[in-house]
Structure 1
Amino acid sequence: MIIETAKSADLEHLLDFRREAAAWLQTLGSDQWSRDYPADKLLATIEAGTVFMLRDGAETAGTITVTPEAEPGLWSPAELAEPSRFVNKLTVARAYAGHDLGGRLLNWAGERAADEGAEWLRLDAWTTNERLQEYYLAHGFTHVRTELEGGAVNGGPRVSGWLAQRAAGPAAHGFTDQTLRVTA
């Protein structure tokens, strides 16, 4: 399998991918990703070069976004001063479930983060999705805290405020990396 930087032409596929993941999450009793993601916002991340596609021949097996920018209001100023990369929108196609591609994508992201000079690979997860939180803990992340206040809707509760991190660094992923890298 190869990992490459997403292109603008991947936009509709990524939106479909997200809808597939939301439908699967709903079968597990989670409302995560139940709202449509704005296409223009996703296109901006693609154009910024932070969205990556895992390809198995002509099929897309997974996707991950790795960015130097944190979601606003989650991490403290001291934490933001530490060199970090932030993972979001990690998704594996249901046809590829059960092969730990998500874990391998996290390993790839940790290696990429270290190559870019980051000390930490960080993420936020849905505060009510305990299964996802356990998944991240099983993949070497440590829970930092849960931010419940400051949500986007009327200053209400934050839905994705479970914060975790692990040290950035090389780890086995087994992918052929065809992305461009900026090393520190």
Structure 2
Amino acid sequence: MSRVDRGIRVVTFSLIRATSGDSPIVAELLTERAAWLARRGIAQWSKKDPARDTAATVGTGETWLLIDDTRRAVGTITLSTRADHDFWSRSERAAPALYASKIATRTDCTGQGLGRLLLHAGFMYARRRGLSVLRWDVWRTNEQLQTYYRSLGATLLRVVVVPGRSSGALFEWKAMDRAVWAAGSPHLVAVEAPEGELRQIDALTEQSVVRLGADERDRLQPSEANHVHRMLDLKYLASQEPLAVGPTDVAPSILYHAGDAWRVGQLVVIGSALGGLRPGLVYRIAHAGVEPSCRVALRGDLVQAPQGASV
């Protein structure tokens, strides 16, 4: 929807996940931007086939579209938990983060702040899924774009040179500079990313007793019954111990694929419970319900959006 400010219609935008029918739109946006860059002597994306590349990331649910209030697609961004091993260190890859790539807006919308809005929306989505870091890489020779990202408050961590790769300026964003975003930023209505319980994870329930100790007068406090669910089909690779979750856990455990393996809390996990999951998306393992019908739930994005974008 649009809004009216002092009698002037203000266009609003939303971020939606691209579906298979949106692949041609995503390819068009990237091809158009690649041609725009080529006219300015920047060969970025010129050697890739956008149609082939986007079909893969759209299929995994990692590609998004920025749409205006008429549902016209004006930009695209790919968001994934999978880090590029050429650029990011082992410790960086192990920690949960979201990596942005293929950021492009319509060339007839240049100067409207939509690139800024795409990153804003990506950061909002990351925070909503429990991730506090958004990262991306930029071509080493594109100093103008690097300056632009620094002006948004992003941190240039370092520049790495990898044989055969033109990119390598590594940016990270951990906090949003609200003053920067308030200055002339277009209006983002919502990030349309519905989440729900995908399935239940089989687990054994172990009863336990929590001893609360003594109060300030050294009087013993009553004990409380507690329980923990130990997952049958999901365990840590190193220790071979099953993952466990209980009702007192404050936040769900984030399950993510870092490009090399599935991880929880930076530790590699294995098991049949990972079957059918999409590397690149964010999942959460949580205690759900109350005794005696409580369970371990796997939550994640409901990737099939009801509506798509228009050209």
Q: Which residue of 2 aligns with 1:12?
A: 24
> Structure 2 CA distance, aligned partners of 1:183 and 1:115?
12
Give the direction of change, closer, same or farther, for the CA distance of 1:140–1:169 in structure 2 (3 Å limit): closer
What SS does the aligned partner of 2:165 have?
Answer: coil
- For residue 177 of structure 1, the aligned residue among 169, 186, 191 is 191
Match of 1:21 among 29, 33, 39: 33
Matches within 5 A, 1:149-168: 149=162, 156-167=163-174
The answer to whether the Cα contact below 8 Å between 1:113 and 1:120 also exists between their aligned partners in 2 is yes
Bigger helix share = 1
Query: 2:153 & 2:146 partners in 1: Cα distance?
Result: 11
Q: Name the SS for the 1:102 alignment partner.
A: helix
1:124 maps to which of 127, 132, 137: 137
Do the aligned partners of 1:111 and 1:169 also contact (CA within 8 Å) in 2? no
Computing the radius of gyration from Cα coordinates, the structure with the larger value is 2
* Aligned with 1:34 (options 36, 46, 49): 46
Alignment pair present for 1:55 and 2:62: no
- CA shift for structure 1 position 58: 4.1
Structure number with higher strand proportion: 2
Given the two structures, how large is their TM-score scaled by the length of structure 2?
Answer: 0.53
Q: Which has the higher contact order (CA 8 A, sep 6+)?
A: 1
- Give the superposed CA RMSD: 2.1
The runs of 5 or more residues in structure 1 that have no matched partner are: 150-155
Once residues 95 and 105 of structure 1 are traced to their aligned partners in structure 2, the CA distance between those partners, rounded to angstroms, is 16
Identity, in percent, stands at 33
Q: Distance in 2 between matches of 1:97 and 1:76?
A: 34
Query: With structure 1 as the length reference, what TM-score do the two structures score?
Result: 0.87
Please list every run of 5 or more consecutive structure 2 residues that lacks an aligned counterpart in the other structure: 1-12, 182-186, 196-281, 285-311
Q: Which residue of 2 aligns with 1:108?
A: 121
Task: Indicate if the aligned counterparts of 1:113 and 1:169 stay in contact, CA closer than 8 A.
Answer: no
Bigger shift: residues 12-21 or 174-183? 174-183
Whole-angstrom distance in 2 between the partners of 1:97 and 1:79: 33
Aligned to 1:153: none
